[in-house]
């Protein structure tokens, strides 16, 4: 399959993912796995089998795009086809992500931060040298 990837030459900080054209992505229809530099290419190879809801034709196109981007950025690929990059797609991925989300919600609550313990009451007593703090039991 012919690659649709083209290097993206816009310099500076991108503010949104929407600034990138479709031709920069490994999966251009789904806009998944941007290939903007060598680090992103290596990441796309590592996560290739984690992409869900794509057809075999999309995977073949994505591998062609990754291969072309790897050559452009000087990344060595030992894989020769999309079948060498792992199970397509990983089984049980949705169930595992739902379990992980439930665990995060249980541990950290709705806000996504760690639950805090209630502070102990502190008793202050005045002494000749100043105020002394002592935790109540």
Give start and end residues of each alpha helix (H) in 1-55. Answer: 38-46
Q: Each residue of 92-115: pLDDT tens digit?
A: 777 878 888 888 888 777 665 665
- Selected residue with higher pLDDT from 88 and 124: 124
Residue corresponding to tokens 């012919």? 2
Q: Has residue 64 got a pLDDT over 90?
A: yes
Model pTM score: 0.61
Closest CA to 63 of 22, 37, 47: 47
Domain positions in the chain are: 17-135
Residue corresponding to tokens 């399959």? 1
Beta bridge partners of 22: none
Q: How high is the pLDDT of residue 57? A: 92
Q: Has residue 131 got a pLDDT over 90?
A: no
What does the alpha-carbon distance between residue 85 and residue 79 come to, in Å, rounded to a whole number? 7
Q: Has residue 86 got a pLDDT over 80?
A: no
Q: Has residue 78 got a pLDDT over 90?
A: no
Which H or E element spans position 63? helix 56-73
Stretch among 34-43, 80-89, 116-125 having the lowest mean pLDDT: 116-125
The residues, any chain, with a CB within 8 Å of residue 49's CB and separated by 6 or more, are 85, 86, 87, 88, 89, 90
């Amino acid at each position: 399959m012919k690659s649709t990837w083209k290097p993206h030459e816009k310099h500076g900080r991108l503010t949104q993912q929407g600034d990138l054209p479709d031709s920069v992505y490994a999966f251009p229809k789904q806009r998944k796995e941007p290939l903007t530099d060598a680090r992103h290419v290596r990441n796309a190879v590592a996560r290739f089998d984690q992409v869900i809801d794509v057809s075999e034709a999309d995977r073949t196109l994505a591998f062609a795009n990754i291969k072309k981007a790897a050559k452009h950025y000087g990344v060595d690929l030992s894989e020769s086809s999309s079948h060498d990059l792992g199970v397509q797609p990983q089984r049980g991925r949705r169930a595992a992500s739902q379990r992980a989300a439930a665990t995060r919600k249980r541990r950290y609550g709705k806000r996504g931060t760690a639950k805090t313990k209630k502070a102990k009451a502190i008793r202050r007593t005045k002494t000749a040298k100043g105020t002394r703090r002592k935790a109540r039991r």
